[in-house]
Structure 1
């Protein structure tokens, strides 16, 4: 019983990943129905119950929609929860990374400068300390893109949380996987992190001084630098 309980999540995840990748590759086109339950269950060597659990997981991520007496149809890619950690991991190597990263950057341009302005008004000492700690971690991680990206992500999460806007706070959770992918690509495109650290420091200083215009400009400059780094990477 315990062994089955431990195995089921892995099996469900394997089925979800396989179906998701088939959908992403176009084997099951948008609007089409997936094969019948019995056929899929036999293909994966699992019970119909396990298959249904996997399908429900894909439905929760808006990749498919199940309807009684109709079947399970594939939804258009625009509806997929593409920022979901699982979805992104399933289809990452089938994704046009450049287009995806540009979309994440567009969203950040719309949200982060506004969050910086709100943080100037609302951030408390704990918020500012969290942002500063992330910046210190970035400085300590130079030469290690993965560790630097972790700290970079923590900085931007702390900034959004410091806005004390509940919608911006949710943005942190919804884009974490996509933001991590973008930051890692940007950070791997340069060998010297001094400009990145300096631009983050300017933003922190503006927040500390409660200078809304300076914070907004610093956020925009920081994002412009990230865009430049990504374009440089694409040219090499």
Structure 2
């Protein structure tokens, strides 16, 4: 029940019904509106506060925070507000993050990846190839590839990045994969990166990593601005 109220309140905020800087209705009003106890409402608001959608203060009330403060990479938050999100703009931000991190992760993976790491990456590529024309199955395998790549870097910060970016990366990859009818080019470009990792070709691995990002941009119909110089 608390999660349902959290979702309803999050969508109320994301829809713009209550704009940043404004107060949510009081606990009593929300209790009547949703037909739940004030305790349930209070716990739901605490959950939203933990995800930086609102801030509660004594004698002030619960204030809606600006969108840039929201924990958009949180899987629950992203699920709640996805219908009100500019997916293209969000995808651009994820692509920028990928461009900053994945080539470096690929370079480190060339140096550090174990045979088990390479096996996990290869399994993800094979799952992509077997997904056929199912964009959701393909995206699950695609996401597994990128997670395996970051793990193969054996960089502690990149490993944490897996958890923080998973929901956003999944949204971006699914949007990209749903925009094409043929996944053969995507499979080939991922396999090229795998081959570069296997041969420990650092320059080639960075190049292939950037190619993956460019292909995603192409599939989404994004401009070259995200790719930088």
Structure 1 and Structure 2 fold alike (TM over 0.5): yes
Distance 1:98 1:220 in 2: 19
SS in 1 for 2:6: helix
- Cα distance in 2 for partners of 1:187, 1:46 equals 41
Deviation at 1:24, TM superposition (A): 1.0
Following the alignment from structure 1 to structure 2, what is the Cα–Cα distance between the partners of residues 221 and 137?
Answer: 20
- Determine whether 1:145 maps to 2:139: no
1:37 and 1:20 mapped to 2: Cα distance?
15
CA distance in 2, matches of 1:161, 1:93: 31
Matched, 1:99 2:85: no
Q: CA deviation at 1:68?
A: 2.5
| Aligned residue number for residue 44 of structure 1 | 34
What is the aligned-residue RMSD (CA, Å)? Answer: 1.2
Q: Within 2, Cα distance between the matches of 1:94 and 1:33?
A: 20
Name the residue aligned to 2:5: 15
Inter-partner Cα distance in structure 2 for 1:46 and 1:187? 41
Deviations 1:186-213 (A, max 9, x none): 1111111111111101101111111111
Matches of 2:3 and 2:18, distance apart in 1: 19
Unaligned runs of 5+ in 2: 223-229
98, 105, 108: which one pairs with 1:115? 105
Equivalent residues in 2 for 1:49-128, closer than 5 Å: 49-128=39-118
SS of structure 1 residue aligned to 2:221: helix
| TM-score, normalization by structure 2 | 0.94
Deviation at 1:70, TM superposition (A): 2.3
Corresponding residue for 2:14? 24
Q: What is the distance in 2 between the residues matched to 1:176 and 1:35?
A: 33
Structure 1 residue aligned with 2:187: 197
In the other structure, the counterpart of 2:227 is none
Cα drift, residue 177 of structure 1: 1.3
Q: Which residue of 1 aligns with 2:148?
A: 158
Q: Tell me, what secondary structure is at the counterpart of 1:73?
A: strand
